[in-house]
Structure 1
Amino acid sequence: MPYIEIGPVPGEENCAQVGSSDYTEASLRECEVFRRMLARLFPVPAGLPVAYVGRTHPHDFGNYREVSIRYDESDSQAVEFAYEVEQSAPGEWDAIARYELAWYERKQAYDLAVREQRLRSEEVPPAFSTSDPPNLPMNAGFAELLASNPL
């Protein structure tokens, strides 16, 4: 199946830089949040052979990651959908994605504190004991998300 590269993050946002010491972890986090954002904004219709995927590519300075849309080129609706997503991909993070990025940073800090024994695992707030951020309402603004799901 062919792929269309969408990018590691929305086009107008900064992203993790290949070669930086935290690239692997940061790029995985950014791509996952971007993948979920695209799936939220452009849900794939049931039965359409299309999927949002994270992919790794070689580069002179190390591997880099991007979110791609995989589609069945023999299905004209799948092709049309994939190209529509590419054309319509947002330039900026939406409120949910910004919240998720902040949530992952906070979770990473709690995980590090537990590993370094500065905190006991039972001291970590329950919202950060899962591997994924909470499900958030679609139409809420960032301030509303923070008020209902404090970080």
Structure 2
Amino acid sequence: MGRAPPIWSNEMEYELGPVPYEEACEQVGTPDYNVSRARHQCAMFIRQLERVFRPARPDSLSFVRKSFPHEFGTYFEVVAIVGHDDGSFSESAVPARWDYVAQAELLWWDRREAYRVALDRSEITADEIPPLYRRLMPTFPDSPEACGMALGEVPLVESAEA
């Protein structure tokens, strides 16, 4: 399978890693490697990078997830593709840590996965999964639930008394 043609002439690619460089990520080859979580971590990192580098011109900067073969499986990295350089991208501006929006996305994803696993093991029924985790991820930070979750105001598990 060949490489896709360049988006722009004279493009440069920068491999940024799967997550901010001071954060833990899924490690290919480890017994608990979760390929789905690895993909989602990259997607969340891409959204964070888009927040950091906004309003970059779409014709000069994009972030993509790429897969790479490894003797223990496939791993993923976020790659910055920089077209005709207008100064909109700097490796030194790549965040070291998750921002509050990405932290909320990660919390939501982990909680939804925990419910999915519990459902698969028949430990709970579908009706026991809170509505927040039965659908697609809320639009962080724009939905009220997402904003409340980021601020710690929306519980990750709904109370049985509610």
Q: TM-score, normalised by structure 2?
A: 0.74
Q: Can you give the 5+ residue segments of structure 2 that lack an aligned partner in the other structure?
A: 1-5, 157-162
Does the C-alpha gap of structure 1 residues 143 and 117 become closer, same or farther in structure 2, counting only changes over 3 Å?
Answer: closer
Which blocks of at least 5 consecutive residues in structure 1 are unaligned? none
State which of 87, 96, 99 in structure 2 corresponds to 1:94: 99
| Partner of residue 14 from structure 1, selected from 15, 19, 24 | 24
Once residues 139 and 55 of structure 2 are traced to their aligned partners in structure 1, the CA distance between those partners, rounded to angstroms, is 21
Larger RCO (CA under 8 A, 6+ residues apart): 1
- 1:11/1:47 CA distance change after superposition, 3 Å: closer
How many residue pairs get matched? Answer: 141
Moved over 3 A (4+): 44-47, 141-144
Distance of aligned partners of 1:44 and 1:144 in 2 relative to their CA distance in 1, 3 Å threshold: closer
Q: 2:127: which partner in 1? A: 122
Deviation at 1:51, TM superposition (A): 1.7
Matched, 1:112 2:143: no
Counterpart AA for 1:42 = F
Partner of 2:47: 36
What's the counterpart of residue 85 of structure 2? 76
Q: Determine what percentage of the aligned residue pairs are the same residue.
A: 31
Larger Rg: 2
In 2, the alpha carbon distance for the partners of 1:68 and 1:142 equals: 31
Q: Distance in 2 between matches of 1:49 and 1:135?
A: 25
Aligned partner of residue 30 in structure 1, secondary structure? helix
Which has more helix, going by share of residues?
Answer: 1
Q: Deviations over 1:92-128 (max 9, x none)?
A: 1111111211111100011122222322223211111
Q: 2:160 — aligned with what?
A: none
Q: Structure 2 matches for 1:41-52, cutoff 5 A? A: 41-52=52-63
Q: For the residues of structure 2 that align with 1:130 and 1:87, how far apart are their CA atoms?
A: 36
Alpha-carbon distance in structure 1 between the residues aligned to 2:20 and 2:148: 17
Shift in CA distance, 144/19, structure 1 to aligned 2, threshold 3 Å: closer
Q: What are the superposed Cα offsets for residues 7-49 of structure 1, whole Å, 9 maximum, x if unpaired? A: 1111111211111232312311211111111112222435434
